[in-house]
Amino acid sequence: MSTQKNIVTAFAPETAHQGPLQPPPVALLDRYKGQEFEPIYSTIVTVSGGEAEHGRASGIARSDDGNLNVQLRLPTALGGHGGGTNPEQLFAAAYAACFHGALNLLAAKKKIPVHDANVQMSVAFGRDPVDGLFMLTADVRIHLPDVEKSVAEELVRNTERFCPYAKMARNGITSVVALAA
């Protein structure tokens, strides 16, 4: 049995000398006028099967830059042993982080202070009544203490339109599934 620990680092060691962490520039909100998808950032994460030769039950997920290296475990609710993260938690973390970042960018552009904002994401894995297989649902709760309710509601609506994860949840995602050469 592997004794590898869950390791998720906030930044690569080679970037540690660059000073305090800063949010991205508000200029990121400038509209793109191209005709084709324009990648700004790409990453590769590889999942291997681990001890049970099953990525979801005993896998390891590693990013190509080494910043993500986590053990995947089937939750006890699905008959597993738990003890590691799972796709639902990783998706919830990614969606919540993206939404939080988008929210803060939009707030900065409008000069709305959103101190202590947080995004709580609940992701459920369950049965799909349409095809009898599986599906995910997501419930996003945004906490904006000290922001007037009407301002907060407008900011959340705009963030939902802007955040790529919210857009993906609403419209789907362009995806290619193919056997590797």
Note the pLDDT tens digit of each residue in 5-35. Answer: 444 444 444 455 678 999 999 998 899 999 9
Domain(s) labelled CATH 2.20.25.10 in the chain stretch across: 23-85
Q: DSSP label at 20?
A: S
CATH 3.30.300.20 residue spans of the chain: 86-181
List pLDDT tens digits, range 57-71: 999 999 999 999 999
The rounded distance, in Å, linking the Cα atoms of 72 and 2 is 12
Q: What is the pLDDT of residues 33-45, one digit of tens each?
A: 999 999 999 999 9
- Candidates 107, 72, 117, 102; CA nearest to 169 is 102
- What is the distance between the alpha carbons of residues 9 and 177, in angstroms, rounded to a whole number? 29
Q: Are 121 and 96 in contact (CB under 8 A)?
A: yes
Q: In the CATH scheme, what is the code of domain 23-85?
A: 2.20.25.10
Both tokens of 49, joined, read 């099967």
Asked if 2 and 71 count as a contact pair (C-beta separation under 8 A), the reply is yes
Q: Which tens digits make up the pLDDT trace of 70-112?
A: 999 999 999 999 999 999 999 999 999 999 999 999 999 999 9
Query: What CATH code is assigned to 86-181?
Result: 3.30.300.20
